[in-house]
Amino acid sequence: MAFGRSSRKKRPVEPVTLKILVAGGFGVGKTTLVGAVSEIRPLRTEERLSEAGRPVDDLAGVEAKTTTTVAMDFGRITLREDLVLYLFGTPGQDRFWFLWDELAQGALGAVVLADTRRLEDCFAAVDYFERRAIPFTVAVNCFEGADEFPVETVQAALDLDPEVSVVMCDARDRGSVRDVLVGVVEHAVDRAERVREPVVT
């Protein structure tokens, strides 16, 4: 019998699971972002755009788009052995915003995906998370051919609080998206710790 080595098997780590929302305007890349980073086949609720929706779906800047998310996108990524993120992509059109309250329940934080060609499209998402005190990060999806602006310019244009970070990303690139998600988790945890700190008088 060997005494120098434990015969017990190492217990598997029970991971902490956290919920992150991915929000933003219509056609900004939310479905692409979730799909790029998910380690499982992402759940998608996409339908083809119809003539009936043409009057209410603004396709300016995304004329090639043929489908839209009508409920949510869902994916999962393991950041560490003990930390798993569940990603919920929200629908972008106004008529589906009634789903946001359900999706937001229990969320640790959020990514607001932005397109500098249509920056105003993410105002509603920024306002939503600010009013509900849900920590979020703005991730500018760097579309080919879109103008690039300094982070400070985007922060000013969206009238963000100083604590809200703005990062550049490529929603198609797994590494880029992973970095955004790590930043969201760190921001949310840091904010929660500051809220718990006692006020010294």
pLDDT in tens, 187-198: 999 988 887 765
Q: Give DSSP secondary structure letters for 99-145.
A: GHHHHHTT--EEEEEE-GGGGGGGHHHHHHHHHTT--EEEEEE--TT
Q: Which residues pair with 20 in a beta bridge?
A: 87, 109
How high is the mean pLDDT of the chain? 83
61 within 8 A of 115, measured Cβ to Cβ: yes
- Binned at pLDDT 50, 70 and 90, residue 57 comes out as very low
**Average pLDDT of 54-59?**
48
73 within 8 A of 43, measured Cβ to Cβ: yes
**Average pLDDT of 103-122?**
94
Q: How far is CA 146 from CA 39, 133, 143, 153, 197, in A?
A: 29, 31, 5, 15, 42
pTM for the complete prediction? 0.78
Distance CA 114, CA 160 (A): 13
89 within 8 A of 74, measured Cβ to Cβ: yes
> Would you state the structure tokens that stand for residue 89, as one six-digit string?
């992509």
Distance CA 71, CA 47 (A): 10
Letter string b/e over residues 14-38, b meaning 16 or more CB atoms within 10 A of that residue's CB = eeeebbbbbbbbbbbbbbbbbbbbb
Q: How far is CA 11 from CA 5, 85, 153, in A?
A: 16, 22, 49
pLDDT at position 5 is 54
Report whether pLDDT(122) > 80: yes
Query: Which has the higher per-residue pLDDT, 51 or 145?
Result: 145
> Would you state the structure tokens that stand for residue 145, as one six-digit string?
């051919």
- Of all residues in the chain, what percent carry a pLDDT higher than 70? 76
